[in-house]
């Protein structure tokens, strides 16, 4: 097995992203349409501001029960504290990190800019190709 593969080799580079000002109901529709479980949130300059996950989106429903109003902006529901990795992180370290955390996906950031995203499924695909 080629253990020298890294996140940059297996990451997805063409990403669905949101802005903080995106309507959360539109974001939910996008997640469902593209069959993805979350997406990065970027400002106008392309800086990573957070991540919006399915769990974050479910919060909109819970809050609507209390406030009698569904919706809001992505910035009101996204997770602002985001763990990131670099494209040079090795596949073994990446697999271990996924094993230790609950994350389904991790943004890949180099020199302060989002360059891609790697998911648990990306790691599994790499393993499949290597075996």
Per DSSP, the residues of 36-65 read -SEEEEE-TT--EEEEEEHHHHHHHHHHHH
pLDDT band at 60 (very low <50, low <70, confident <90, very high): confident
For the chain, what are the domain ranges?
7-130
> How far is Cα 91 from Cα 6, in angstroms, rounded to an integer?
5
Report the pLDDT value the prediction gives residue 1, as an integer from 0 to 100: 52
Phi and psi of 72, rounded to 5°? 130, -170
Angle (CA) 68-73-76 rounded to 5° is: 85
CA-CA-CA-CA torsion sign (91, 117, 54, 63) = positive
| Average predicted confidence (pLDDT) for the chain | 91
CATH topology classification for 7-130: CBS-domain (3.10.580)
- Answer yes or no: are the C-beta atoms of 85 and 97 closer than 8 Å: yes
Percent of the chain at pLDDT exceeding 90:
71
Please name every residue paired with 108 in a beta bridge, in sequence order, or none if there are none: 85, 116
66-122 confidence digits (pLDDT tens): 777 778 899 999 999 999 999 999 999 999 999 999 888 999 999 888 999 999 999
pTM for this entry: 0.84
110-122 confidence digits (pLDDT tens): 988 899 999 999 9
């Amino acid at each position: 097995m080629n253990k020298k593969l890294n996140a940059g080799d297996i990451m997805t580079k063409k990403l669905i992203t949101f802005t903080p000002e995106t309507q959360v109901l539109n974001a939910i529709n996008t997640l469902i349409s593209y069959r993805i479980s979350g997406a990065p949130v970027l400002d106008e300059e392309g800086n990573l501001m957070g991540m919006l996950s399915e769990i974050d989106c479910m919060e909109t429903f819970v809050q609507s029960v209390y406030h009698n109003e569904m919706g809001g902006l992505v910035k009101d529901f996204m997770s602002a504290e985001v763990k990131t990795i670099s494209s040079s992180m090795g596949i073994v370290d990446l697999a271990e990190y996924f094993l230790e955390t609950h994350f389904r996906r991790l943004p890949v950031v180099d020199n302060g800019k989002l360059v891609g995203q790697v998911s648990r499924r990306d790691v599994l695909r790499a393993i499949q190709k290597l075996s």
